[in-house]
């Protein structure tokens, strides 16, 4: 099957490295999606193991359509009887960019009519209506420059929904984005489990939890359900084998060095709860502390954080002052690597140091900068 992995802007390379680790060498990226081929076992493994991909889609067809008639014909031509059942709960998802068919909702309605008609004609049930009480199937109709891509979503809920984050806290970082940031850094527990990882603005704990899951090789999707599991066309053994692989790969006795702190007692309490749900509570050392007082006895380490943005005008000056003082704290750790995600304009000016590397990302649709500062590597890593 032709598979598509949608990825957030700026996360393509991190996701491709994860795919290579899973054995998918040929995976070109185009228009925010990574393309690859695979069978049902590949679909199961991708859903269970991918850390920063957003979903796993099956591409059913690609054709050109400038009118609703052409769209209907193209969708009807797909062998829907292979994928759906008579009682499938069909949900439509779509978008249109630089195309003549700009009405996304209307296009989805036309596509769904074509699907229902195909099922009625090919299964020969004689039905004119369908109950849609069965398994959910999310059909994507994406139109880009009049080229239509029709997909079937095997994941259902987005892959960022790991299942451990249940309590709300202000401005949470999406799990898939957090995992991508960690994979973009020099934090490599496979090479050095004892090298410390720190997040002094941990909030609800997403970054340190994702770091701990990476260090302990806990598959992010091992404890959640996916839509394809309920489909008659998908073999039941695929997800069972993927979950068995995930269980066998966990490093149960490993002891990573991960620090997480926040000035808010509520945030630390929530973070501890989420870490326990994720199965990494013993791997993360939580503390109520001011980030400006952060220090570590170990010479080398990796600091990744998503500090407060100060989106409200009244908070901006406070955040500027906080970043200025936190920059002074970081300079007391000259051999550490630091990675800061923030939407604060002129961040480098307040932090007091120009980044060695920076790139543009989006956090909850908010434009952000990801600022990377490199310390001196240990002698064995030069």
DSSP assignment letter at 228: G
Residues 238 and 312 in one domain: yes
Domain membership flag for residue 165 = no
Residues 33 and 109 in one domain: yes
Residues 242 and 336 in one domain: yes
**CATH number for the domain including 297?**
3.40.50.150
- Helices and strands in the chain: count of H runs, count of E runs: 10, 14
**CATH number for the domain including 109?**
3.30.2130.30
Domain membership flag for residue 168 = no
Residues 234 and 149 in one domain: no
C-beta neighbour count of 378 within 10 angstroms? 12
Domain membership flag for residue 169 = no
Q: Give the domain range for residue 333.
A: 175-217+227-377
Residue 32's pLDDT is 84
Domain membership flag for residue 102 = yes
Q: How far apart are CA 55 and CA 239, in angstroms?
A: 16
Residues 122 and 270 in one domain: no
- Our count of domains for the chain comes to 2
Q: What is the dihedral of CA 55, 179, 50, 16, to 10 degrees?
A: 90
Residues 182 and 67 in one domain: no
Residue 313's pLDDT is 44
Domain membership flag for residue 125 = yes
Residue 309's pLDDT is 73
Residues 181 and 247 in one domain: yes
Q: Would you say 75 and 114 are in contact if contact means Cβ atoms under 8 Å apart?
A: yes
Residues 241 and 366 in one domain: yes
Residues 147 and 237 in one domain: no
Domain membership flag for residue 158 = no
pLDDT < 50 regions, the chain: 312-314
Domain membership flag for residue 80 = yes
Residues 91 and 204 in one domain: no
Residues 185 and 317 in one domain: yes
Q: How far apart are CA 168 and CA 204, in angstroms?
A: 8
Q: What is the DSSP string of 302-358?
A: EEEE------SHHHHHHHHHHHHHHHHHHTT-TT-EEEEEE--TTHHHHHTS--SEE
Residue 120 phi/psi, 5-degree rounding, is: -65, -40
DSSP assignment letter at 154: S
Residues 235 and 92 in one domain: no
Which pair of tokens denotes residue 167? Answer: 């309590």
């Amino acid at each position: 099957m032709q598979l598509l992995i949608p990825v957030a802007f700026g996360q393509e390379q991190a996701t491709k490295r994860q795919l290579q680790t899973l054995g998918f060498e040929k995976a070109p990226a185009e228009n925010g999606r990574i393309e690859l081929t695979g069978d049902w076992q590949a679909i199961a493994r991708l859903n269970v193991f991918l850390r920063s991909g957003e979903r796993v889609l099956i591409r059913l067809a690609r054709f050109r359509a400038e009118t609703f008639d052409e769209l209907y014909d193209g969708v009807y031509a797909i062998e829907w009887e292979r994928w759906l059942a008579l009682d499938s709960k069909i949900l439509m998802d779509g978008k249109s960019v630089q195309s003549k068919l700009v009405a996304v909702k209307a296009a989805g309605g036309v596509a769904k009519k074509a699907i229902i008609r195909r099922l009625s004609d090919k299964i020969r049930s004689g039905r004119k209506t369908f109950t849609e009480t069965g398994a959910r199937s999310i059909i994507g109709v994406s139109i880009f420059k009049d080229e239509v891509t029709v997909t079937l979503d095997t994941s259902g809920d987005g892959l960022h929904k790991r299942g451990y984050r249940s309590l709300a806290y202000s401005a949470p970082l999406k799990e898939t984005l957090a995992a991508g940031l960690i994979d973009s850094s020099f934090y490599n527990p496979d090479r050095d489990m004892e090298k410390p990882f720190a997040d002094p603005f941990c909030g609800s704990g997403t970054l340190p939890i994702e770091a701990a899951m990476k260090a302990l090789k806990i598959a992010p999707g091992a404890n959640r359900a996916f839509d394809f599991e309920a489909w008659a066309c998908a073999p039941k053994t695929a997800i069972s084998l993927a979950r068995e692989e995930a269980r066998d790969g966990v490093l149960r006795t490993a002891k990573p060095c991960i620090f997480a702190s926040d000035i808010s007692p509520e945030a630390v309490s929530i973070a501890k709860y989420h870490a326990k749900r994720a199965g990494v509570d013993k791997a993360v050392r939580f503390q109520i502390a001011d980030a400006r007082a952060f220090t570590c006895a170990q010479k080398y380490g990796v600091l990744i954080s998503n500090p407060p943005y100060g989106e409200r005008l009244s908070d901006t000056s406070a955040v500027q002052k906080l970043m200025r003082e936190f920059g002074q704290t970081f300079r007391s750790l000259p051999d550490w690597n630091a990675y800061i995600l923030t939407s604060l304009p002129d961040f480098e000016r307040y932090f007091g140091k120009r980044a060695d590397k920076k790139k543009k990302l989006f956090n909850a649709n908010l434009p952000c900068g990801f600022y990377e500062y490199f310390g001196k590597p240990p002698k064995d890593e030069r």
